[in-house]
Structure 1
Amino acid sequence: MPANPKSPLARRRPPTQRRAEVLVQSVREAARQILEADGAEALTTNRVAERAGISVGSLYHYYPNKESIVADLFEDMLDRLVAEIVEEGRRTHLEDMPLEEALERFVRMMFDHRARLTGLHRDFLEQWGSRFEISNRVAPDGRTFGQITHDSLYSLLERNQDRIGVEDLDAAAYAISLIAEGFGRACWEERLPDTPVEEMTQRIARAMLAYLGVV
């Protein structure tokens, strides 16, 4: 979801020429390096411009403030994650896996995506996170990724209906997705005990199975 032009997260203008695209990429890479090496407090437009090897004036030509730079980093990361999800979807279909394995894989993928976004800039994600939800992005087939997830989970439950103790598969697919998303968000916001990701993944998958009344 590109930022509203009046939003503090919006770039002043998109790059339209190759030279401008190179400049924008250098700003992204410089900001990413500063965040990784020195943390969010060290990120300023002056430091980004210096690291990118450009003038502050050139930076301001595209970015009005550091928030717009961070937002652009998140948009770039989301583009990469979306491409990975599309490719993963071509190779792997959750509905074709055994139920327990499929749920663990779903939780693990969700944790990986959340970890990568949180690792970029946790405070920024907490403030503006609703703008950067993968589930709201539109896939090449026109569905949102949230709808794709729901449809995939529904098909998985339908294939295992003889093992499931709930009748409304549509509601159940939404419910287990919310279980995974809720625990995942709490984990990466550090509101849960310090538990290894693999162990947490298995616990969440078991909670989903318990909700489904799996036998």
Structure 2
Amino acid sequence: MPREQPLHPRKQPRQVRAELTRKRILEAAAHVFAEYGYAAGTTNRIAERARVSIGSLYQYYPNKDAILLELVRGHLDSGAAESARRQAEELPGTVEGLMRVFVQAAIANHLEDPRLLRVMVEQAPRSPELVRKVYETKDMRNAHTRDLLGRYPEVRVSDVETAARIINATIELVVHQVVAEHEPVDLRRLEDELVAMFTRYLTAA
């Protein structure tokens, strides 16, 4: 059996300079993966773009799988933070307004280079840690959405918990796939259509 590649960073920066180097490597990797794809996005190219030696890069990450996994973790954390920030603001007075907050947060988290998004979705190693993080993030988001929906008398669905899961899964799937397509998309129209669809679903008598 082939030996599994290590997926954890080798070095946790403790000084400002080291942390800046780590961030430079990740930023360089994002550009390289978007430009060349995953197969041709070698660690040599990443090191060159980051302006560090290949030896320095390997002090932080054992291989490009570990670098990509770190980018995916950052993407998940960014999405959770953006959702929390928007939902911590004063709640809109209508279900339509609430759905707009949800959709806008998802779109904002997917405005990175679509080519990089495709690499993260298609090539990221499915480590147990990443799978666990994905499910924990989904569970927290679904629970929060369920609680918010319960505050609106307009909501007519009989099963709010299932509705929360459907809404979050649909937003994530649709926004991820549409924004990551090669063809440009009118993001405002996408937002309006999703908001209208969820509002009708939640408020239909």
Which TM bucket (shorter chain)? Answer: 0.7 to 0.9
* Post-superposition CA distance 1:88-108 (Å, at most 9, x none): 343344xx5311111122112
Once residues 134 and 199 of structure 1 are traced to their aligned partners in structure 2, the CA distance between those partners, rounded to angstroms, is 34
Once residues 131 and 41 of structure 2 are traced to their aligned partners in structure 1, the CA distance between those partners, rounded to angstroms, is 23
Once residues 80 and 174 of structure 2 are traced to their aligned partners in structure 1, the CA distance between those partners, rounded to angstroms, is 22
1:167 paired to 2:158: yes
What corresponds to 2:150 in structure 1? 158
Once residues 9 and 151 of structure 2 are traced to their aligned partners in structure 1, the CA distance between those partners, rounded to angstroms, is 49
Structure 2: runs of 5 or more not aligned: none
Once residues 162 and 25 of structure 2 are traced to their aligned partners in structure 1, the CA distance between those partners, rounded to angstroms, is 44
- Amino acid in the other structure paired with 1:13: R
Once residues 87 and 149 of structure 2 are traced to their aligned partners in structure 1, the CA distance between those partners, rounded to angstroms, is 18
Shift of 1:178: 2.8
Shift of 1:82: 3.7
1:10 paired to 2:7: yes
Once residues 185 and 51 of structure 2 are traced to their aligned partners in structure 1, the CA distance between those partners, rounded to angstroms, is 41
Structure 1: runs of 5 or more not aligned: 1-5, 138-143
Q: Does structure 2 retain, via aligned residues, the 8 Å contact 1:166–1:172?
A: yes
* Post-superposition CA distance 1:160-205 (Å, at most 9, x none): 33x34432222222222233233223313439x8641111121122
Percent sequence identity over aligned pairs: 26
Once residues 129 and 12 of structure 1 are traced to their aligned partners in structure 2, the CA distance between those partners, rounded to angstroms, is 14
What corresponds to 1:201 in structure 2? 191
What corresponds to 1:48 in structure 2? 46
Q: Does structure 2 retain, via aligned residues, the 8 Å contact 1:26–1:52?
A: yes
Aligned pair partner of 2:179 in 177, 180, 188: 188
Q: Does structure 1 retain, via aligned residues, the 8 Å contact 2:86–2:101?
A: no
Q: Does structure 1 retain, via aligned residues, the 8 Å contact 2:78–2:109?
A: no
**More relative contact order in 1 or in 2 (CA 8 Å, sep 6+)?**
2
* Post-superposition CA distance 1:83-126 (Å, at most 9, x none): 44443343344xx5311111122112112223437453422322
The count of residues paired between Structure 1 and Structure 2 equals: 199
TM-score by length of 2: 0.73
CA RMSD of aligned residues (A): 3.5
What corresponds to 1:113 in structure 2? 109
TM-score by length of 1: 0.70
Once residues 195 and 54 of structure 1 are traced to their aligned partners in structure 2, the CA distance between those partners, rounded to angstroms, is 37
